[in-house]
Structure 1
Amino acid sequence: MTNNGTFSLQFSGNASGLYPSKADFHQIGSGLNGHFWFAHEQNAASEQTDRLKVTGTWRLGRSLNQWARVYVHMPSHGAHSQQAHYTVDRGANITSKRHKTRVVGQRQGTNRWVPLGTFQFNGVPQVSLSNITRGVDVGVENVAWDAVAIVPLSQKPRNFVVALGESYSSGEGAATDASTDYYHDSNHNGGGVLEHRNGCHRSQHAWSRQAWLRDDPQQRSIGARSDAFDPTMDYHLIACSGARTHNLLPSGSNPISGVQVSDPLTGAPFQTAWGTTARQQAREVSQLDKGFVDENTTLVTLSVGGNDVEWSAAIENCILLPIPCQESDIDGHRAADYLPRLMDREGRQSIATVLRAIRVMAPNAQIMLMGYPQLFSNDANCVEWLGYGISDSEAAWTNQLAVELRDVLSEVAIAANSSLGRVRFVDPIINGDFAGQGVCGEPETIHGIVAAKTAGEDHSKVQNPSQQSFHPKISGAANYARSLNREFRNIGL
């Protein structure tokens, strides 16, 4: 690694010529070469009143006229922000979209290089980071300035892949050791502050990482290629367990990046069928606000909708209530009537909105919408929690829900393919990828009850098992990858 460039700091001042921002600026002996700076998170409102903004800028010592990969170094401790906004200046000779913003979590738990992505430069590259975020709390979590690396490439990568979605996409459950299999920024207790924890559970074994693309003659997985810094692969996993459709949508106007996005159907900001616009989750900005999905993206994978139609709430009722869960109350409605109605109405519309938003952000991407498996095999006689189990009728009902949701997702994808182009539904049910291997199956590739909670989970809900329950194991994520690989081959990928 060659040190070639400069790092500069800019401090916000007030009308009296004072610099309050310098009072909240510190250094620690950690990170790359044993040193980094930090300040506490602020937002636009606090900057107006308190003038605590600090901006650090790394500037390469020479001009580049080529594609290059950008990495930021995160220290093992002292960096806490879950939405650090890095702005990449691609050079003075770039005439369109010169500045690109990438939002990443800094709480990595180890000294680690984190990729911001691959960019085309024409001029002197610069990367800037301020302590201004879109968070509500200020003065609590640290934003750290450590180091930046720029790695020139001989050509544009063939594959720009982004994995969006909820728990089934993040790899929830695909772990044998939660402390190592989940990326630390997606599985931590927030320094002991419940509201600052992150349980997105992005797994190194997520199905988007296990799948492979045919351009690689060695048939290495997408994740293996990314981990090996393959110059033809730019991959980012930003799905988050528990996400609903509004957690994927882009903001109408991003106050930090300046990006403005509107729904072509309405001319207004994207919103779900419930009227909800983009929302943050686990102190992270919405997934399409993170900046990784753009005009260079070639492939987007996702699963979404299960949380919107209250499938997870129904499963929770199955194990926590003494009555059949299909007869239980969800939002004042009988579950057996309510969930199919949500799927066919609000769920259908909101999932279609997400696909439309992805197409606006990534006009050149192939979109792969993944379905859900039937959870139970051989009834559900192996499941027991706090004296309750899941009856045969409950297992049959939840399996039927998976089929009904599959039908809705398939129809939405077909309609989106017709109107947007290059949208494909991946069906793990019709191809039997989990047949006989669900909960209580042999082998069991979907967890039943998982009692032990991870660092990133809410431990105050003592009656609830781990959120990893009823999610695919590593072997189940492999089943999902097999489904995706089949569809890749069907469309020539």
Structure 2
Amino acid sequence: MTIDGTWTLGRSVEWARVFARMPDTGARTQQAHYVIEGVVGGERHRYVNTYFSKDVWVELGVYRFTGTPRVERTNTTDDGTADEDIAWDAVAFQPLSGKPKHMVVAMGDSYTSGEGAGAYSPESDRDHGKSSWNACRRSPNAWPGKVTVPGPAKSVDALAALGLQFTACSGAAAGRMAEGCLPSGWGLDGDFHERTQSDSGVLSVDTTLVVPTIGGNDARFDNKI
């Protein structure tokens, strides 16, 4: 029952930003597995929560290619039970003149995700009480996008070409930052069926800045007054 799809750019590039299109219907898996091939150093794996319920482009990251970029995706997931739709749509490559000066990754718990800041991305705030529940609550109002990086004296959000990678999740415990730990589901330790933040594929040798907060949920600060 496995079906693999492949998208190949019609020419060679060195640096490029890669996007995947999420359609408004049929995209329900929270662990879509994309493989970006032709990358310097070997293929890269990127896991994406596709449950946006609207047509939207999602950035898979910036990569340095050795020639012709190619992206593959499979319809199988590590937590799959053959009852969630996996939709296929377009992939886009945006050629860049070189490596962006700043490549920022925001990881961690609710302090980073923006709990309480509102306007949460739809895939990260949905379906309470159901098996598809996600309460990571990633907000565009969260502080990682508001900080100023050295050099341009502009916030991360203002640097449109930068492309903030945002995997923080409300309730995340330290184990959610580790590699190789499969999601527990239903919000236990803060993953809500998403891959762990390290396994998501947002980090690479090209990352220039990581902004994390973690540890409070391990100490159970949420039960303290």
For the 8 Å contact 1:157–1:234, the answer to whether it is kept is no
Q: Distance in 1 between matches of 2:55 and 2:9?
A: 22
State the shift of 1:248 in Å: 1.0
Counterpart for residue 10 of structure 2: 61
Amino acid at match of 1:131: N
Higher relative contact order (CA 8 A, sep 6+): 2
TM-score, normalising length: structure 1 = 0.43
For the 8 Å contact 1:249–1:286, the answer to whether it is kept is yes
For the 8 Å contact 1:280–1:286, the answer to whether it is kept is no
Larger radius of gyration: 1
TM-score, normalising length: structure 2 = 0.92
Amino acid at match of 1:117: G
Helix, strand or coil for the counterpart of 1:142? coil
Counterpart for residue 36 of structure 2: 88
1:179-328 map, 5 Å: 181-189=119-127, 194-216=130-152, 219-225=153-159, 228=160, 230=161, 233-251=162-180, 281-315=191-225
Give the counterpart of 1:134 among 65, 70, 78. 78
Q: Distance in 1 between matches of 2:158 and 2:83?
A: 36
Q: Distance in 2 between matches of 1:239 and 1:151?
A: 25
Amino acid at match of 1:245: A
Matched, 1:149 2:59: no
Cα offsets for 1:242-286 (capped at 9, x unmatched):
00001111118x9xxxxxxxxxxxxxxxxxxxxxxxx88201011
Amino acid at match of 2:7: W
Unaligned 5+ residue runs, structure 2?
183-188
**Greater share of helix residues, 1 or 2?**
1
Counterpart for residue 185 of structure 2: none
Amino acid at match of 1:55: D
Matched, 1:162 2:91: no
Cα offsets for 1:301-348 (capped at 9, x unmatched):
111111101110224xxxxxxxxxxxxxxxxxxxxxxxxxxxxxxxxx
Cα offsets for 1:36-83 (capped at 9, x unmatched):
xxxxxxxxxxxxxxxx1111111112222x100000011112201111
Q: Distance in 2 between matches of 1:292 and 1:184?
A: 20
Q: Distance in 2 between matches of 1:122 and 1:307?
A: 42
Helix, strand or coil for the counterpart of 1:196? coil
Helix, strand or coil for the counterpart of 2:144? helix
Helix, strand or coil for the counterpart of 1:208? helix
**Greater share of strand residues, 1 or 2?**
2
RMSD between aligned alpha carbons?
1.7
Matched, 1:70 2:18: yes
Q: Distance in 1 between matches of 2:29 and 2:214?
A: 26
For the 8 Å contact 2:172–2:190, the answer to whether it is kept is no
Give the counterpart of 1:119 among 46, 49, 63. 63
Q: Distance in 2 between matches of 1:79 and 1:156?
A: 31
Cα offsets for 1:366-392 (capped at 9, x unmatched):
xxxxxxxxxxxxxxxxxxxxxxxxxxx
Amino acid at match of 1:68: A
Q: Distance in 2 between matches of 1:113 and 1:140?
A: 24
For the 8 Å contact 2:15–2:62, the answer to whether it is kept is yes
